[in-house]
Amino acid sequence: GRQDKIRNFSIIAHIDHGKSTLADRLIEKTGLLTNREMKDQILDNMELERERGITIKLQTTRLLYKAKDGEIYTLNLIDTPGHVDFTYEVSRSLAACEGAVLVVDATQGVEAQTLANVHLADEQGLEIIPVLNKVDLPSARPDEIKAEIEDVIGIIAEDAPLVSAKTGLNVEEVLEKIVNDIPAPSGDEDKPLKALIFDSYYDSYKGAVSIVRIIDGRVKKNDKILLMADNKSFEVAEVGVFSPVATPLKELKSGDVGYITAAIKNVGDCKVGDTITSFSSPTSEPLPGYKQATPMVYCGIYPAEGESYDEIRDALEKLRLNDAALTFEAETSVALGFGFRCGFLGLLHLEIIQQRLDREFDLDLIATSPSVIYKITKTDGKVVFIQNPTNMPSVSAIEKMEEPIVDASIFIPNEYVGNVMELCQNRRGNMISMDYLDEKRVKLHYELPLNEVIYDFFDALKSKTRGYGSLDYDFKEYRESDLVKLEILLNKEIIDAFCMIVHRSKSVSRGRQVCNKLREVIPRHQFVIPIQASIGTNVIARETIKALRKDVLAKCYGGDISRKKKLLEKQKEGKKKMRQLGSVEVPQQAFLEVLKFD
């Protein structure tokens, strides 16, 4: 039948193993675009992604491939992000597929996210096709890496294509494998419509656009559809496919991957993971929704001087449409006024949202210290979960405090084992095991408090392993811990936006670091500014910013007018990015600086 000629698949890989390059090559080999148009990696088409070199947003592309058997196949390539923070988005897109191409860099071997991605594909019951990439490089070790895939992952890799996504070598073999090894979809086009929304975005002309996999049935323009989560109905305005830009079609049928628009204005109506069915003859059973991703890291987001609260809320709502893992609710800060408490999967997710607010929505923001969720048992027996450090109850009301612990897998070349063990030790880690993958590489398994991972653990790991270390982690459990609330005072006033919860053993060094950073970034005022870090009433660190010397301008006497001008200019420039916290003007950059630890 018609569906026999459809293959729905994703490419999964550890970061930098060549997923996007292979995707480009597959697109090119199927004749979709000319070489010139291939210049930019079209799948990584957001400015931000190109800059950071990682894929965030899901994209799908329809390819037409004439296979060696003479038949023409429709290959729907569904892109997935590769970073540890986006595990959730990977499962979303995998649910729309029957198979996955697993790319492993033949010079590197199996890494933390290789394994994490394989687990996700396995959970969805996908056919996994291993492919060894970068065989053009002299350091490629295809035979060893094949053995490693079989040992560590447990899938047969004997016949894995040896490709170079860069030169195009053996890429055709991958296309043949996709056609021959990945099962065709097996839905029924005569059953009631059942479509899975696995991604969505907001288009200013079309409204909310749902990217869907049609499981059963068919859908076309003017059909009345029902979005099952909220039981809301709409009339279809357009259906189509991405090849690679949105191209309208008459109809989508079971097995197809494409998009549906229905003049859905309220972005919240179009939920990723929801099932679309027919209004007049609905399916009896919605698809099993995705596991809702639970945010692990929270921070406050506040408008910078002169920005509007409403605009930020609007932007957050739009971002949430295709990022169900992003959560937010209104909150107020004494220091910063009205803003939002936002939840993220991890620190990278937080950074990306902040940057998207800045670039795509042109919003200037202040983010407060990130925090994990602490579990507190109070002396009255009540259990509360705290995601904002300022809400920590007073010490006398706390019976027991617990923090989230993660299971971390760390893959590193063996010469860095010492460095990484020291890093984990400093981050209160607990080693569970150490396994040799081959003579050169080691897998460390650690338990780590998430509160130590969310700061700059990933960056620290990269720098201690010259970029060769990889990390994946999963929530394990809550565990009792000796935690304290660290408060920062500027000119004797507590600044709630700088408040953080830290382990007692770290409190003094953290307090000193923050005071030190603030002293560096806050300019002198007309008065002396004491900076203090305290736990309760106990001051554990202090710094002082001296008062401005009255003669700072007078000193540039003697005709050096340009220097004087420059100085005034600089002061004006600095003013623009200042934030009044109590009596003290603090540069916005301070909020970022205090999050960085060595």
203 is in an annotated binding site: no
- 142 CB burial (10 A radius; 0-12, 13-18, 19+): middle
- Beta partners for 338? 332
Please, which residue, 83 or 194, has the CB nearer to ligand GTP? 83
Should residue 165 be labelled a site residue for ligand GTP when binding is judged by CB under 6 A? Answer: yes
CB of 137: closest distance to ligand GTP in angstroms?
5
117 binds ligand GTP (CB under 6 A): no
Q: By CB under 6 A, tell whether 133 contacts ligand GTP.
A: yes
Q: Which of 8, 9, 18, 57 touches ligand GTP by CB under 6 A? A: 18
Among 7, 57, 134, 506, interactor with ligand GTP by CB under 6 A: 134
Residue 586 assigned as binding residue: no
Q: Is 390 in the site for ligand GTP (CB under 6 A)?
A: no
Pick the piece of the chain touching ligand GTP (CB under 6 A) from 158-166, 212-220, 400-408, 577-585.
158-166
- Shortest spacing between CB 79 and ligand GTP, in angstroms: 9
Instruction: Please indicate if the annotation marks 57 as binding a ligand.
Output: no
Q: Annotated binding residue at 136?
A: yes
Q: Would you give the binding string for ligand GTP spanning residues 74-93, x where CB under 6 A is met?
A: --------x-----------
Enter the DSSP assignment of 162.
B
Q: Is 17 in the site for ligand GTP (CB under 6 A)?
A: yes
- The answer on whether 18 is annotated among ligand-binding residues is yes
- The secondary element (H helix, E strand) that includes residue 274 is none
The structure tokens 């991605």 sit at 117
Token pair of 409 as six digits: 């897998």
Closer residue to ligand GTP in complex, CB, 82/185: 82
Q: Using alpha carbons, select from 323, 23, 294 the residue that is nearest to residue 178.
A: 23
Least distance between ligand GTP and beta carbon 555 (Å): 51
413, amino acid identity:
P
| 54 or 270: CB nearest ligand GTP | 54
3-class state of residue 238 by DSSP = strand
Strand stretches in 452-526, DSSP E? 470-480, 483-490, 493-494, 500-503
Token digits for 125? 């019951």
Closest CA to 98 of 172, 158, 179, 155: 179
Residue closer to ligand GTP, measured from CB, 17 or 517: 17
Question: How far is residue 400's CA from residue 21's CA, in Å, rounded to a whole number?
Answer: 51
Contact residues for 47 (Cβ-Cβ < 8 A; gap 6+): 359
What does the buried/exposed string (b/e) look like for 383-409 if buried means 16 or more CB atoms within 10 Å of the residue's CB?
eeebbbbbbbeeeeeeeebbbbbbebb
Query: Is 130 a residue that touches ligand GTP (CB under 6 A)?
Result: no
In this complex, which beta carbon is closest to ligand GTP, that of residue 82 or of residue 99? 82
- 8 A C-beta contact, residue 594 and residue 514: yes
Residue 404, strand partner residues? 478
Q: At what angle do helices 87-94 and 112-123 cross, to 10 degrees?
A: 40
Residue 53 known to bind ligand: no
Structure tokens at 195: 């479509």
What x-and-dash track marks residues 290-309 binding ligand GTP by CB under 6 A?
--------------------
Q: Which of 9, 10, 19, 320 binds ligand GTP (CB under 6 A)?
A: 19
Residue 119 is labelled as binding a ligand: no
Does 19 belong to an annotated binding site? yes
Query: Token digits for 433?
Result: 């095991």
Closer residue to ligand GTP (CB): 459 or 569: 459
Task: Choose between 133 and 388: whose C-beta lies nearer to ligand GTP.
Answer: 133
HSE-up of residue 65 (Cα within 13 Å, Cβ side): 31
Q: Which of 8, 20, 74, 390 binds ligand GTP (CB under 6 A)?
A: 20
Footprint on this chain of ligand GTP (rule: CB under 6 A) = 13, 15-21, 53-55, 82, 133-134, 136-137, 164-166
Binding-site residue ranges: 16-21, 133-136
